Amino acid sequence: RQVYTSVGANPANPAAAPSPPELSHRLRQLQTALANDEFELFYQPQATLADDQLLGVEALIRWRSPSQGLIPPAEFIPLAERSGFIIELGEWVIRAACQQIKQWQALGLPPLSVCVNLSSLQFARPDLISRINNILAEIGIAPKYLGIELTESVLVQNVDTTMAHLQALRRLGMLISIDDFGTGYASLGYLQHFPFDILKIDHCFVQHVHTNPTNGAITTAMIQMAHSLGLMVVAEGVETTDELAYLKAQGCDAIQGYLLSQPLPASQFIQWLRRRQR
């Protein structure tokens, strides 16, 4: 398991919420961290259930602070979103993921698609597509190797921009996943309406799916519904072989979770991949 250093806001304890001066101090820290190249992407693999093939990897950001240690996204993404800094940080994420794809290709690894998480603020920008295109061209990789993950919040805001962007990304050949499905406000109708490739079932439904009847029923229904709409299903946060067996029996397509691997720094991910290939 990863060990994180806890700093800053504690969402579980509103009494400990930082005051505005602390927040602007924190935002300056984030800006400095970006300038000092302290952010890092970790990579977590996804594997198919039918034949245990590597489907792709999700890129997950961390802040490796020299003074505070490894800081998880939950401790800075919310402020980055509230302040708008996520636009800049999100662009860094896309570029870093593309550079990693390029590096892995240069090492002769089998072609891997890397999915990045886009925030709704990024997705609302009219220049999103040209920015992504510029990065792909600058680094020199095909769009099909870059995927994006969106949460439901993107869909309920700004339907027209969202639809136009999704269609453009689809035309580029990028994989589009709907993340954390079932935890937000989007209805099933959204799934039919927008051009997604993959539905990701949130960890909260996957947890103890084999013994928790509610989670079992929800997960089974989501898999059936996604399949009837032609979407592939990835279950997130799979931690046990019991959960895996249940998901496989229900026809889930792929899994991601600690059972397979926790998110790893790029160098460790390559070692994981090589161990697996042997």
Residues that bind ligand C2E (CB under 6 A): 44, 60-61, 72-74, 77, 86, 90, 93, 116-117, 119, 179-180, 203, 236-239, 257-258, 263
| Count of residues near Ca ion by CB under 5 A | 5
Which residue has the CB atom at the shortest distance from ligand C2E? 257
Please state the closest distance from residue 114 (CB atom) to ligand C2E, in A.
Answer: 11
> Is 117 one of the binding residues for Ca ion (CB under 5 A)?
yes
Cα separation, 264 vs 275, in Å, equals 14
- Nearer CB in complex with ligand C2E: 74/229: 74
- Nearer CB in complex with ligand C2E: 21/244: 244
> Is 152 one of the binding residues for Ca ion (CB under 5 A)?
no
- Nearer CB in complex with ligand C2E: 118/231: 118
Name the segment binding Ca ion (CB under 5 A); options: 124-132, 140-148, 153-161, 179-187: 179-187
Unique residue bearing structure tokens 């709907």: 178
Please state the closest distance from residue 17 (CB atom) to Ca ion, in A.
Answer: 22
Please state the closest distance from residue 108 (CB atom) to ligand C2E, in A.
Answer: 27
Q: CB of 261 within 8 A of CB of 272?
A: yes
Name the segment binding Ca ion (CB under 5 A); options: 120-128, 231-239, 246-254, 263-271: 231-239
Closest C-alpha among 132, 130, 124, 111 to residue 150: 124
- Nearer CB in complex with ligand C2E: 179/253: 179
Q: Taking CB within 5 to 8 Å according to partner kind, which of Ca ion, ligand C2E, none is near residue 61?
A: ligand C2E
Strands (E), 136-237: 146-151, 175-181, 198-201, 232-235
Cα separation, 178 vs 157, in Å, equals 15
C-alpha distance from residue 52 to each of 49, 85, 220, 253, 254 (Å): 5, 38, 21, 10, 8
Which DSSP string corresponds to 24-89?
Answer: HHHHHHHHHHHHTT-EEEEEEEEEETTT--EEEEEEEEEEEETTTEEE-GGGTHHHHHHHSTHHHH
Q: Determine the distance from the C-alpha atom of residue 56 to the mean position of all C-alpha atoms in its chain, rounded to a whole number.
A: 11
Residues 29-88 touching Ca ion, rule: CB under 5 A, are none
- Nearer CB in complex with Ca ion: 30/61: 61
- Nearer CB in complex with Ca ion: 33/235: 235
Please state the closest distance from residue 73 (CB atom) to ligand C2E, in A.
Answer: 4
C-alpha distance from residue 168 to each of 90, 115, 161, 185, 233 (Å): 19, 17, 11, 24, 22
Residues 252-271 touching Ca ion, rule: CB under 5 A, are none
Output 18-23 pairs: Cβ under 8 A, ≥24 positions apart.
23/79, 23/83
- Contacts with Ca ion by CB under 5 A lie at 117, 149, 179-180, 236
